[in-house]
A and B are shown apart, each in its own frame.
Chain A
Amino acid sequence: MTIDIMSTTTDTSSTPAGAATGRPRPGGTDSRTGRRPGGRDFLASLPWIGPALILIFGVVLFPAVVMFFNSTRDISISGVDHGSVGFDNYVEVFSFPYFWPIFARTIVWVVVVVAATVVISLGLAQVLNKAFPGRRIVRLAVIIPWAASVVMTTMVVYYGLEPYFGIINKFLVDIGLVDTPEGYGWTRNPATAFAWSIVVAVFVSLPFTTYTILAGLATIPGDVLEAAKMDGAGPMRTYVSVILPQLRGALSVAVLINIINVFNSLPILKVMTGSIPGYDADTIMTLIFKYIQNQHKVDVASALSVVAFLIVIVIVAVYVKVVKPTKEV
């Protein structure tokens, strides 16, 4: 993300803490006050940023350290720490016979959900960007899955897919797509439950992605489109050659945030596939929670969380390297 830290600042030189005017340059002195901004200014900032620092360190960074530490410990089911075991927990993670299928499924999960979300959102944004009576209501409707609990949205789909009494099954039978009168046990079979989970994940990711693209569309100058028209470009050509390149910034941010969210997503798979025995519909995230909740192996769960953490970092790093979201268009 290209969040520009420096350029949004204004400083106030008439206050005591504002003595540090201008950008602090390492090794240099401040041109106006003749002294480097020092510890006193940092202390002056503490009453303002201190509480936020405590929260970030105490509830985000410290648990991360605890997690790294626990991944090398032997922790009993009752939570007693029996000392260091080196990398045994990691060995257990990687030697689990279902690990690599789950790893592959996690990649499929992230790639398919994010790709489908972006493609559909591009289309949705085109519809919502055009003026028509009632557009405001349509835009508000698109927000609903964003605000509504993902658990609740998933549960209504789960119910709909139930054989015999599920409404979606009933609809599929009525239109002839499913030819058994009781419907199909979508949520009983790992492959179909996983496929429907992807559908739900795309559905709940659409609002944020669509709104980000709409924001991107709003920044495209009208004269650029005018010029494309004058040059005789058709709507398709204009979209591919003019509009899409302009959306680069919005799209790259939307994709990055979606990758992080989808990788970390738990509720959809927990509801849709959680009652299926075995590991044929799991991703790394659901496996972590199976270690914690079903097997009470916090140590192995920590090791797998560290692996998950590193996978996210690698994916984000590769993405940033390849796509260069920070690059100006």
Chain B
Amino acid sequence: MAVTAPAFEAIGAPAPSNRRRRYTEDQVSIGRVLLRMLGGFIVLAIFVLPYTIMFFGSVKTKAQIRSVDPTYLPTEWHWENYVNMWSTPETPLPQNLISTIVIAVFATVLVLAVAMPAAYYTARFRFPGRFVFLFLVIVTQMLQPAVLTSGLFRQFVTLGLIDTWAAMIFINAAFNLSFAVWIMHSFFAGVPKEIDEAAQIDGAGRLTVLFRIQLPLVWPGIVTAIVFTFVACWNEFAASLVILSTAGNQPLSVALTKFVGQYETSWHYVFGVSIVAIIPVVILFMIIEKRLVGGLTAGSVK
């Protein structure tokens, strides 16, 4: 990135007059740029540090990581940990990984299937109950599974769905629905209605309009909603902790806590599994970085 890069390129509304101002200001002082780079480097180091510790830990041996005089860097690199870590006595980690994937994927698909039509319809049409519906969506955004866990627990016991993936798929979908509806709603609302009308004059049905005309236009919003939902489901902890009691059904977030407080925790395996679980979602989040906040606060920050 050039020294004179515009400061506001990354998020939100462009500020043209601002760009010009910063452009000239930044050409003035090299010293100030170096100072900013130093500040940026310190920020980078702090935010990467815990995950660096995690990574170094994951390639140490158990003896090394539990050594009374630990070394910061691994003295030998034990990549075989990434193979061996999947069989530990504490919890069936391969099944936990499968649980995490199944719950996150199906919950995301469910959110998409439910939120997209609702977002499209509320953005395009006025109907009695529309305001109430959007109000309900805001209310669910205020609620989190943690505070409702005891109710969820009793309900899924009654339904016979306790300790099943299905229960967690429904819970994750329900509590991530509101964000998906909001962001898709704002994207759909941004498409001129004339485009819909033109397609309908040409004989397209409403579903055809949604899938053939709207989707190609609003896909950035859809991708943002998908990634955000997926990451939230991937990391969900509180409800899974109570709803899923069988070790094999639990996602990694719950399973890994069983290592804490053990007499001899295999930290090198905990960190190997953590690295494997973290990297894909971090990459997904980085892909949508530019839309992260524009989406989150869509319509809420004026």
Query: CA A145 – CA B281 in complex, angstroms?
Result: 11
Query: CA A186 – CA B100 in complex, angstroms?
Result: 31
Cβ of B82 < 8 Å from any Cβ of A? no
Cβ of A175 < 8 Å from any Cβ of B? no
A159 touches B150 (CB 8 A): no
Cβ of B220 < 8 Å from any Cβ of A? no
Query: CA A328 – CA B234 in complex, angstroms?
Result: 37
A5 touches B134 (CB 8 A): yes
Q: Which A residues lie within 8 Å of B115 (CB)?
A: 52
Cβ of A156 < 8 Å from any Cβ of B? yes
Residue of A nearest to B25 (CB): A131
Our pick among A14, A61, A223 for the contact of B197 (Cβ within 8 Å) is A14
B282 touches A11 (CB 8 A): no
Cβ of A225 < 8 Å from any Cβ of B? yes
B147 touches A305 (CB 8 A): yes
Residue of B nearest to A51 (CB): B114
Query: CA A39 – CA B148 in complex, angstroms?
Result: 33
Q: How many residues of B contact A (CB 8 A)?
A: 137
Given A58-B170, A285-B146, answer yes or no on A127-B122 (Cβ-Cβ < 8 Å): no
Query: CA A36 – CA B79 in complex, angstroms?
Result: 70
Cβ of B137 < 8 Å from any Cβ of A? yes
B51 touches A144 (CB 8 A): yes
Cβ of A226 < 8 Å from any Cβ of B? yes
Query: CA A258 – CA B115 in complex, angstroms?
Result: 24
A52 touches B114 (CB 8 A): yes
List the one stretch of A96-104, A109-117, A237-245, A264-272 in contact with chain B: A264-272
Our pick among A11, A20, A145, A312 for the contact of B193 (Cβ within 8 Å) is A11
Cβ of B217 < 8 Å from any Cβ of A? no
Residue of B nearest to A4 (CB): B299
Query: CA A3 – CA B139 in complex, angstroms?
Result: 12
Cβ of B87 < 8 Å from any Cβ of A? no
Query: CA A47 – CA B207 in complex, angstroms?
Result: 11
Q: Which B residues lie within 8 Å of A298 (CB)?
A: 150, 153-154
Q: Which A residues lie within 8 Å of B3 (CB)?
A: 131-133
The smallest beta-carbon distance between B63 and chain A, in angstroms, is: 10
Q: Which B residues lie within 8 Å of A8 (CB)?
A: 123, 185-186, 189, 299
Given A39-B128, A129-B7, A221-B18, answer yes or no on A138-B43 (Cβ-Cβ < 8 Å): yes
Cβ of A95 < 8 Å from any Cβ of B? no
Query: CA A65 – CA B16 in complex, angstroms?
Result: 51
Our pick among B20, B144, B261 for the contact of A222 (Cβ within 8 Å) is B20
The smallest beta-carbon distance between B140 and chain A, in angstroms, is: 5
Cβ of B89 < 8 Å from any Cβ of A? no
Cβ of A35 < 8 Å from any Cβ of B? no
B1 touches A11 (CB 8 A): no
Cβ of A191 < 8 Å from any Cβ of B? no
A55 touches B189 (CB 8 A): no
Q: Which B residues lie within 8 Å of A22 (CB)?
A: 126
Query: CA A226 – CA B19 in complex, angstroms?
Result: 12
Cβ of A63 < 8 Å from any Cβ of B? yes
Cβ of B88 < 8 Å from any Cβ of A? no
Query: CA A63 – CA B224 in complex, angstroms?
Result: 29
The smallest beta-carbon distance between A32 and chain B, in angstroms, is: 12
Residue of A nearest to B12 (CB): A218
A215 touches B122 (CB 8 A): no
Query: CA A56 – CA B200 in complex, angstroms?
Result: 32
Residues of B participating in the A interface, judged by any CB pair closer than 8 Å: 1-8, 10-13, 15-22, 26, 33, 36-37, 39-41, 43-44, 47-48, 50-51, 53-54, 57, 65-70, 72, 110, 113-115, 117-118, 120-131, 133-138, 140, 142-144, 146-155, 157, 170-171, 173-175, 177, 181-182, 185-186, 189, 192-193, 196-197, 200-201, 206, 231, 234-235, 237-238, 241-242, 252-254, 256-257, 259-261, 265, 267, 270-271, 274, 277-278, 281-282, 284-286, 289, 292-294, 296-297, 299-302
Top 5 nearest A-B pairs (CB, nearest first) are: A67-B151, A222-B18, A59-B174, A63-B151, A48-B121
